[in-house]
C-alpha cells in the first residue's frame, strides 16, 4: 500500500506533483491546517504531513496521529511543531534549513534601503497627490557603519551585500572566529562597541535565552543618536516598547521590522510611528524561496517514506535502519558530549577534535560527528540539525578533525571530544555501558562515572573538606532534590569536580547562593535532552 501524505498548508503545485510522481498518495488541502478540530479528526489516516507555518502540530495532534511517521516543514523555523512530542511518538521532524537564506538576507537589505530613504512614507504621500520633496530627506548607505548581530548563514550574506554597498561592517557573534571574520572582510567586535559605533543595526540570530531582548532598553540607550534598527530575524530580540519611545524622542532615526514579539501583529508599539517600516513576516516570501523549500521538503519526505533515508531531520540522524539499531545509544552520547561542551563554552570555538576509541571507531563516524557538532551548536542555534550543523561550523571557520584508534583502555569503546578556543582547551569523554545508557567518564582529564540527566549541575572546587557538605546543605535548604551525584578529582588537594542532577532546573537564586559561598571555582547548570 502506497504511503499517504497530507499537505495542510499552501505548498507549490510542483511539490505536490513530486509526491505523486514518486508513487505517494497525497491529499492537497491548503486550508486544513487552520482548522484544528478537522485536522485532529483526519490525521490518523496519514503517514506524512507537509506543512508551512500555518499548521500547528501540537502534542494533541501528534498523539492522535497513530500512523504518522514524518512531519516536513517547508522552511527553517519549526516553532509550530512540538518536537518533544514528535520524538516521543516516533515521528521524524524535517525542515529545509538552506532554502530561504538569500531571500531573507535580501529582505533585510531592502528594509535598510527603505528606512534610509523613507520610501514607504514617501510613496504614500506621493500617491495622495502631495509633492513633499523636502520632507523626505534620507541618508546614504555608502560609508556608513552596519552593525550585524549574528554573522551566520543569513547574517553572513548580509555582511557580503553590505560590503558591496561600500559599508563598513561590524559583527557581533560569539561563535565567529577572528580568521573567519578577516576572510569575510568584516570586523568582529563586542555588543557595546557595535552599539556605540553603528549607523545601522541588523539582527540575524535565532530567539534563544541568550538572544532574547538582546536590544533591551539598556542596550538601545547605548546606541549612537540617529541609528536605524532592522529586524528580519525573530520577534522578541528587541524591546519594542523601548524602541518606540526612542523613535519618538528622536534618538533612533528609524526602524524596519519584519518580525514582532506577537504574531500575527495587529497592534504594536511601533505601528504608525514616523519612519518605521513594517512588513508581515515576509523574509522568506519570494517565489524562488517558496518553490525551493517546497520542492526540497517533498523530496525529503518521499525519500524517507519510500526508502527510509533521512535528511535534514531535527530529531533523528542520517543513518540507515541497520546502523540505528547499534548506534542509537552512541548517537545520544555524542549529542550529550557536544551539549556539555556547548553549554560550557562562551567564547568562539576554533576547532573541534573528536577521538573514537575501540568498538565505536568502526561505526558511522560521519553521523556521530554530526551529532557531536549539533550538540555543541544547539546552544547558539536551537534549530540546528545533524545535517546543517557541520555546514554551519564550516561557515564559521571551525576546524573539525576526527581520530579513530583501537581499544586502548578499560572500556570497549569511548568517545572523547575536545574543543579549542583562543584561551583554552576543554575536553569531555563518555561511553555506553551494556545497559545502553550513555555516561560521562572523564571531564578535564579527571575520571568520573556519571549518568546523564535532564537537569544537571556542574561545579569545580579545590579538593578540601566541607565543600560537598556545603553543596548538599544549600540544595536541601532550598528544596532542590539531588537525584544522583558523582565526584572526581585530579589529585589530593588538587582540582575537584562534581556532577549532580536534579529533578528540576536549579533556580538562579540557588546558583547565586552557591557562588556567594566562595568555595566553588565554577558553577554551571546544564540541560540535556534525555528522551
Q: How far apart are the first and last CA of the chain?
A: 32
Please check the confidence at residue 492 and state whether its pLDDT lies above 60: yes
Least confident among 246-255, 304-313, 422-431: 304-313
pLDDT at 319 (0 to 100): 65
Percent of the chain with pLDDT over 70: 98
pLDDT of amino acid 311? 83
- Count CB neighbours of 9 within 10 A: 23
Q: Which of 22, 27, 34 is nearest to 7 (CA)?
A: 27
Q: Has residue 494 got a pLDDT over 60?
A: yes
Predicted pLDDT at 390: 80
> Residue 314: pLDDT above 80?
yes
pLDDT range class, residue 259, cuts 50, 70, 90: very high
CA pair distance 467, 494, nearest whole angstrom: 13
Domains with residue ranges and CATH for the chain: 1-97+285-316 (3.40.50.720), 101-278 (3.40.50.720)
Q: Which of 161, 228, 281, 396 is catalytic?
A: 281
The pLDDT value recorded for residue 385 is 72
57-84 residue pLDDT tens: 999 999 999 999 999 999 888 889 998 8
Active-site option among 262, 263, 288, 347: 263
pLDDT tier, 206 (very low <50, low <70, confident <90, very high otherwise) = confident
Is residue 212 pLDDT above 80, yes or no? Answer: yes
* Lowest mean per-residue pLDDT among 3-12, 241-250, 372-381, 468-477: 372-381
The predicted-structure confidence for 96-112, as pLDDT tens digits, reads as follows: 988 889 999 999 999 99
Annotation says 281 is catalytic: yes
User: For residue 188, what pLDDT is reported?
Assistant: 96
Kindly give the pairing relationship between strand 48-51 and strand 4-7.
parallel
Least trusted range by pLDDT, from 106-110, 161-165, 176-180: 176-180
Residue 318 has pLDDT above 70, yes or no: no
Q: What is the pLDDT of residues 227-248, one digit of tens each?
A: 999 999 999 999 999 999 999 9
**DSSP codes joined into one string, 424-437:** -EEEEEEEE-TTS-
pLDDT band, very low/low/confident/very high, at 332 (cuts 50, 70, 90): very high
For residues 357 and 408, the answer to whether their CB atoms sit within 8 Å is: yes
281 CB-side CA count, 13 A: 13
Catalytic site residue from 52, 73, 234, 379: 234
Q: Is the pLDDT of residue 321 over 60?
A: no
Backbone angles phi, psi at 241, to 5 degrees: -65, -45
Q: Is the pLDDT of residue 119 over 70?
A: yes
The helix or strand, by DSSP H or E, that contains position 322, with its residue range, turns out to be helix 321-344
Confidence of residue 221 (pLDDT cuts 50, 70, 90): very high
Of the pLDDT bands very low, low, confident and very high (cuts 50, 70, 90), residue 324 is low
Average pLDDT value over all residues in the chain: 92
Amino acid at each position: 500500500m502506497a504511503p499517504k501524505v497530507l499537505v495542510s498548508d499552501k505548498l507549490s503545485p510542483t511539490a505536490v506533483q513530486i509526491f505523486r510522481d514518486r508513487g505517494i498518495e497525497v491529499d492537497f488541502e491548503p486550508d486544513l491546517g487552520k482548522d484544528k478540530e478537522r485536522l485532529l479528526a483526519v490525521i490518523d489516516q496519514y503517514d506524512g504531513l507537509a506543512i508551512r507555518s500555518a499548521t500547528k502540530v501540537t502534542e494533541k495532534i501528534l498523539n492522535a496521529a497513530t500512523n504518522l511517521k514524518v512531519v516536513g516543514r517547508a522552511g527553517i523555523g519549526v516553532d509550530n511543531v512540538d518536537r518533544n512530542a514528535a520524538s516521543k511518538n516516533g515521528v521524524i521532524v524535517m525542515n529545509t534549513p538552506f532554502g530561504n537564506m538569500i531571500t531573507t538576507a535580501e529582505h533585510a537589505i531592502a528594509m535598510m534601503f527603505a528606512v534610509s530613504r523613507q520610501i514607504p512614507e514617501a510613496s504614500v504621500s506621493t500617491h495622495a497627490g502631495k509633492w513633499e520633496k523636502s520632507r523626505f530627506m534620507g541618508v546614504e548607505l555608502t560609508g556608513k557603519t552596519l552593525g550585524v548581530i549574528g554573522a551566520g548563514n543569513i547574517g553572513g550574506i548580509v555582511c557580503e551585500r553590505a560590503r558591496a554597498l561600500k559599508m563598513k561592517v561590524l559583527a557581533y557573534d560569539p561563535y565567529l572566529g577572528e580568521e573567519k571574520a578577516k576572510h569575510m572582510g568584516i570586523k568582529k567586535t563586542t555588543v557595546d562597541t557595535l552599539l556605540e559605533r553603528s549607523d545601522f543595526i541588523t539582527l540575524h540570530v535565532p530567539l534563544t535565552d541568550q538572544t532574547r531582548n538582546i536590544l533591551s532598553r539598556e542596550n538601545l540607550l547605548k546606541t549612537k543618536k540617529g541609528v536605524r534598527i532592522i529586524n528580519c530575524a525573530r520577534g522578541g530580540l528587541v524591546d519594542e516598547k523601548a524602541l518606540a519611545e526612542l523613535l519618538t524622542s528622536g534618538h533612533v532615526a528609524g526602524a524596519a521590522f519584519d518580525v514582532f514579539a506577537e504574531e500575527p501583529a495587529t497592534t504594536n508599539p511601533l505601528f504608525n510611528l514616523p519612519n518605521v517600516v513594517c512588513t508581515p513576516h515576509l523574509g522568506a516570501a519570494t517565489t524562488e524561496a517558496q518553490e525551493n523549500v517546497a520542492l526540497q521538503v517533498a523530496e525529503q519526505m518521499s525519500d524517507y517514506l519510500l526508502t527510509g533515508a533521512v535528511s535534514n531531520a531535527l530529531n533523528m540522524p542520517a543513518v540507515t535502519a541497520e546502523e540505528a539499531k547499534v548506534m542509537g545509544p552512541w548517537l545520544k552520547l555524542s549529542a550529550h558530549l557536544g551539549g556539555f561542551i556547548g553549554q560550557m563554552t562562551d567564547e568562539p570555538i576554533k576547532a573541534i577534535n573528536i577521538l573514537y576509541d575501540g568498538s565505536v571507531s568502526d561505526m558511522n563516524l560521519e553521523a556521530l560527528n554530526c551529532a557531536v557538532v549539533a550538540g555543541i551548536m544547539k546552544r547558539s542555534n536551537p534549530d540546528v540539525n545533524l545535517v546543517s550543523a557541520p555546514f554551519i561550523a564550516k561557515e564559521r571557520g571551525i576546524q573539525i578533525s576526527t581520530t579513530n584508534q583501537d581499544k586502548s583502555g578499560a572500556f570497549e569503546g569511548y568517545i572523547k571530544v575536545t574543543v579549542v578556543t583562543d584561551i583554552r582547551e576543554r575536553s569531555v569523554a563518555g561511553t555506553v555501558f551494556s545497559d545502553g545508557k550513555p555516561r560521562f567518564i572523564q571531564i578535564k582529564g579527571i575520571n568520573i562515572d556519571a549518568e546523564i540527566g535532564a537537569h544537571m549541575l556542574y561545579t569545580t572546587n579545590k579538593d578540601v573538606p566541607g565543600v560537598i557538605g556545603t553543596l548538599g546543605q544549600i540544595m536541601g535548604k532550598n528544596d532542590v532534590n539531588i537525584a544522583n551525584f558523582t565526584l572526581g578529582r585530579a589529585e589530593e588537594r588538587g582540582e575537584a569536580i562534581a556532577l549532580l542532577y536534579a529533578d528540576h532546573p536549579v533556580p538562579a537564586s540557588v546558583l547565586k547562593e552557591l557562588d556567594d559561598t566562595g568555595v566553588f571555582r565554577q558553577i554551571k547548570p546544564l540541560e540535556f535532552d534525555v528522551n
